[in-house]
A and B are shown apart, each in its own frame.
Chain A
Amino acid sequence: MTLIKTTYDRRSFIKVSTLSSGGMLLGFSWLASCKPDQVVNMPKEWFDINGFLKIADNGLVTIMSPNPEIGQNVKTSMPMIIAEELDVSWDQVTVEQAGFNIKKYTRQLAGGSQSIRQGWESLRMAGATARRMLMEAAAKQWDVPVAEVTTEEGVVKHGDKTIGYGEIAAVAATVTVPEEVELKDPKDFKIIGTPRKNVDGSKIVSGKPLFGLDTQREGMLIAMIEHPPAFGMKLKSLDSSSAKAMPGIHDVITINTSVPEGKEAQWSDTNAFNELVVVVGATTWQVMKAKKALKVSWEEESPPESTSDHIKSMYDLLGKNQKEPARLDGDPKKTFRNAAKVIERIYSAPFLAHNTLEPMNFFADVKEDQAELVGPVQTPEFMSKTASAVLGLPEEKISIMMTRMGGGFGRRLYGHFGIEAAIISQKVKAPVKLVYSREDDMTQGTYRPTYKVTYRAALDKNNNLIGFQVRGAGVHGSPVFANRFPAGAVDNYLAENHTLESNISTGAWRAPRSNFIAGAEQAFLDEVAEAAGKDPIEFRLELFERAINDPVGEDNDYDAKRYAGVLKLVREKSNWSQSTPGVYRGVSAYFCHNSYVAQVVDVVMKNNQPKVQKIWCAIDCGIVVNPEGARNQVEGGMVDGIGHAMYSEMTFKNGRPEQNNFDSYRLIRHREAPVEIETYFVDNGIDPTGLGEPSLPPIMGALANALAKATGERLYEQPFVGQAIELG
């Protein structure tokens, strides 16, 4: 049992009221204590925490899920936490999606990884507070001390007396909100830690309208955009006469989504193009056809860039020192001069599109004095501000409803499509659903930037790692995290960063930066271990030992014990020491989003092509709320990682994206997916940390290491398929 102070002070204004039908309504502002800068620095999509719960007179509990669901299963796992502390049976709970309501929920954007812990506590507090109030109400009714009453599955008890939550809820709503509540001992958890099915599962499998693209309204028009064909271009002139004459076409207009002078832009306002041509008509197909009839000419605004330019510029940067290195320990220069062996490798990866399977879209109905926006967005709070600035309407007059999202991966942090829809609706004075075609979606992304990194390792004559250097370069930022492993485990260490400016728009993509650097680092360490003649797991464990016993420097942002823990767990579960003829194994371990992951990949050769036969994944992400959903996330992250490392890339020629749909942009498919996955969670009772992202980054390294064993070839450039390797 833990006692915690509730934080329902003036800032978080808990609201309790009686429902008209009887029952109790509890309003919370979960993230009142979450500092905005944490969120701005590290926008993250996986843990959206905010809430609202009501108890009906029949005992049913409705938990509002104020943040949108993008497939990370928060709509199931977060209410589970509330239900646990409320002490109801999961069957009594229904979950509803709430709309954007800044007054009710205070902060409704995807939180940074720092807020997960706070969210965990807030959600528990929400359930525990309601439970306590129900207990107090019952105790008063029975005239017994509250310390003597208990609860069980939606019922308050005292001796033989019982009363259902629903029966006492209306009274409970009048009880003063307690200042202190009791949290359950994790060993008494009945819901947390048990597998629960997705709350939207049956709606998904029966095709119910859940997604933004499913929005239909009376009198609604369809809008589609035409954007410049290349980065660095802008609109020059437009002849829309033939498009306008086509059946069903309502209008062809141009819009500019720039935030007006004097108004503040939000970080989520990242987009590719501000000035767009828009076709508005009755049906999507008619609009698609009319788009083809547009005659638009474009002109150069900034010099067009090609993939070959980026490659050359990043190589140039890798040849330069960083004046003030991101981190320097010891004397790497001297160490490398005196080393017995030096290993140096360069790794690279291309731009990636997010390619959420549901393309960008948004519904907007903007009237003279109010606006209604509906669609898939992870950052409604920012959208509300930007919409207010561009529409000239106060924020109170703008309502935003978030729909279930057909994938996020970071793409829907940038809500420009909602702003576009709003401006179009305002201009054509009608409710409008903006629909991106796949081509529109893929060719004007907020891409994962292209990266390059040079690693160098120095070994002494006893094959000890004595020096380590990493120098990264990337579009709009370096991929290197200076204080991550093996920083702290090597006496002489240097980390340097270089940034390449570009007119191509980039943004967060599932596990930003880690999604490249983990694979590079883990592939490099594998080669270093090989050069040192050591088992790759032993080699890493030796380094963790060093970081545990005698860490170098103070800023190491990982816990070497937990790191070593997952590696040992995966070694045991995969039976690492056993070698099977025809099975080629690779290992990796990585820490990001506060979670530790280690993986072993088994590759076999089939028809002369490698096939991922099996993956073992050990993950330490603290308490696992919903093991079923968690496993699904971990599996998905690994399939995603394998797919992108193997097959995917976005390239540019004179500013033009060279891929625009799934015939030219390759994504992993059924045949290439791993045959079997086993996931193990470390059971350590630590508060939960990130889960949606951490399994993705290291798999790229484990795969590369297994492929090196299988094919005899080390792969340094993603996508690997470019080097004549296929899976399956």
Chain B
Amino acid sequence: MNSDQDGVNCKLFQKNNTQFMATYNLKINGQRKEVDADGDTPLLWVLREHLNLVGTKFGCGIAQCGACTVQVDGEAVRSCSLPISSIEDKSVVTIEGLSENGDHPVQKAWIEHDVPQCGYCQAGQIMNAAALLDQNPNPSDQEIDSAMNGNICRCGTYVRIKAAIKTAAAYQE
């Protein structure tokens, strides 16, 4: 589909006679991955369907709910709205790569506060919270609210999330 990724180092080839696909070299959770996909494929679907990293969730597809949040070069981004062609040479971290044993301070705090209900939004909440704490180790309530406002929790665990972020901040000290 998308054959004109300017400045992106990729090898083009034709498939199904009509459409262009390309091979992308990605760095996901510290590992090099090669993916054949249309350049406009959102990172979300590449993670979930090409790389079988299903911890990153689909909620809205239009950057409104935060369920798909991952970190790209340390920034929390909505992977549903990030074409694969735009992230080569960048480092992507997903929930699967946040820590080796699920013991990142944010993950530990989440368990400590028993935050999840259905759990579906939580990977996105955690990735966003971890990025927030990297940039601001001691956020105020207002700073937490504004940083986290893009992450919907349909089950309403907001009060616990805020408490868990504060606990994680304390763990990190």
* Chain A, residue nearest B117 (CB): A71
Q: Give complex CA distance A437, B150 in Å.
A: 19
Given that A211-B120, A636-B157, A667-B154 are known contacts, is A283 also in contact with B111, CB under 8 Å in the complex?
no
Q: Hey, which chain B residues are within 8 Å of A71, CB to CB?
A: 116-119, 155
Q: Hey, which chain B residues are within 8 Å of A633, CB to CB?
A: 117
Among B53, B59, B116, point to the contact of A198 (Cβ < 8 A).
Answer: B116
Complex contact A214–B60 (CB within 8 A) = no
Complex contact B120–A358 (CB within 8 A) = yes
A449-457, A564-572, A668-676: which one contacts chain B?
Answer: A668-676
Q: Does B92 contact A (CB under 8 A)?
A: no
* Chain B, residue nearest A674 (CB): B159
Q: Does A213 contact B (CB under 8 A)?
A: yes
Interface string of B145-167 (1 = CB under 8 A from A): 11011111111111111100000
Q: Does B45 contact A (CB under 8 A)?
A: yes
Complex contact B62–A662 (CB within 8 A) = yes
Among B53, B55, B155, B158, point to the contact of A407 (Cβ < 8 A).
Answer: B155
* Chain B, residue nearest A408 (CB): B118
Given that A358-B57, A643-B156, A667-B154 are known contacts, is A675 also in contact with B117, CB under 8 Å in the complex?
no
Q: Hey, which chain B residues are within 8 Å of A286, CB to CB?
A: 38
Interface string of B42-83 (1 = CB under 8 A from A): 100100111011111111111011010000000000000000
Complex contact A671–B120 (CB within 8 A) = no
Q: Give complex CA distance A210, B15 in Å.
A: 34
Among B56, B62, B161, point to the contact of A207 (Cβ < 8 A).
Answer: B56
Among A202, A208, A358, point to the contact of B118 (Cβ < 8 A).
Answer: A358
Complex contact A670–B151 (CB within 8 A) = yes
Among B42, B67, B160, point to the contact of A285 (Cβ < 8 A).
Answer: B42
* Chain B, residue nearest A289 (CB): B1
A2-10, A240-248, A707-715: which one contacts chain B?
Answer: A240-248
Complex contact B62–A661 (CB within 8 A) = yes
Q: Does B21 contact A (CB under 8 A)?
A: yes
Complex contact A73–B152 (CB within 8 A) = no
Q: Give complex CA distance A670, B21 in Å.
A: 39
Q: Hey, which chain B residues are within 8 Å of A674, CB to CB?
A: 159
Among B107, B153, B162, point to the contact of A205 (Cβ < 8 A).
Answer: B107
Complex contact B159–A635 (CB within 8 A) = yes
Q: Give complex CA distance A210, B145 in Å.
A: 28
Q: Does A357 contact B (CB under 8 A)?
A: yes
Complex contact A675–B149 (CB within 8 A) = no
Complex contact B141–A246 (CB within 8 A) = no
Q: Does A632 contact B (CB under 8 A)?
A: yes
**Nearest Cβ in chain B — how far from A478, in angstroms?**
28
Q: Does B12 contact A (CB under 8 A)?
A: no
Q: Give complex CA distance A199, B36 in Å.
A: 38
Q: Does A639 contact B (CB under 8 A)?
A: yes
Q: Give complex CA distance A355, B67 in Å.
A: 13
Among B45, B119, B162, point to the contact of A210 (Cβ < 8 A).
Answer: B119
Q: Give complex CA distance A202, B58 in Å.
A: 20
Q: Does A491 contact B (CB under 8 A)?
A: no
**CB within 8 Å of B: which of A589-626?**
none
Given that A200-B119, A211-B120, A628-B114 are known contacts, is A676 also in contact with B159, CB under 8 Å in the complex?
yes
Q: Does A15 contact B (CB under 8 A)?
A: no
Given that A284-B49, A285-B42 are known contacts, is A673 also in contact with B121, CB under 8 Å in the complex?
no
Q: Hey, which chain A residues are within 8 Å of B42, CB to CB?
A: 285
Q: Hey, which chain B residues are within 8 Å of A677, CB to CB?
A: 159
Complex contact B45–A284 (CB within 8 A) = yes
Q: Does A653 contact B (CB under 8 A)?
A: no
Among B15, B40, B45, B111, point to the contact of A197 (Cβ < 8 A).
Answer: B111
Complex contact A216–B52 (CB within 8 A) = yes
Q: Does B26 contact A (CB under 8 A)?
A: no
Q: Give complex CA distance A528, B44 in Å.
A: 53
Complex contact A204–B159 (CB within 8 A) = no
Q: Hey, which chain B residues are within 8 Å of A248, CB to CB?
A: 16
Q: Does B169 contact A (CB under 8 A)?
A: no
Given that A205-B122, A208-B55, A407-B120 are known contacts, is A356 also in contact with B154, CB under 8 Å in the complex?
yes
* Chain B, residue nearest A201 (CB): B111
Complex contact A639–B119 (CB within 8 A) = no
Q: Does A406 contact B (CB under 8 A)?
A: yes
Interface string of B10-49 (1 = CB under 8 A from A): 0000011011010000000000000001101110010011
Among A205, A246, A632, A637, point to the contact of B110 (Cβ < 8 A).
Answer: A205
Q: Give complex CA distance A728, B145 in Å.
A: 10
Q: Does A278 contact B (CB under 8 A)?
A: no
Q: Give complex CA distance A668, B156 in Å.
A: 8
Q: Give complex CA distance A404, B118 in Å.
A: 8
Complex contact A667–B152 (CB within 8 A) = yes
Q: Does A24 contact B (CB under 8 A)?
A: no
* 20 A-B pairs whose Cβ atoms sit less than 8 Å apart in the complex: A69-B118, A200-B119, A201-B114, A205-B116, A206-B55, A207-B94, A209-B54, A245-B18, A248-B16, A285-B42, A357-B65, A632-B114, A632-B157, A635-B157, A636-B155, A662-B59, A669-B151, A670-B149, A671-B149, A673-B159
Q: A356-B118, A406-B121 are in contact. List 14 more A-B contacts (CB 8 A).
A: A202-B111, A206-B55, A213-B58, A247-B18, A283-B45, A283-B50, A285-B37, A285-B45, A356-B154, A408-B118, A635-B159, A662-B65, A669-B150, A728-B145
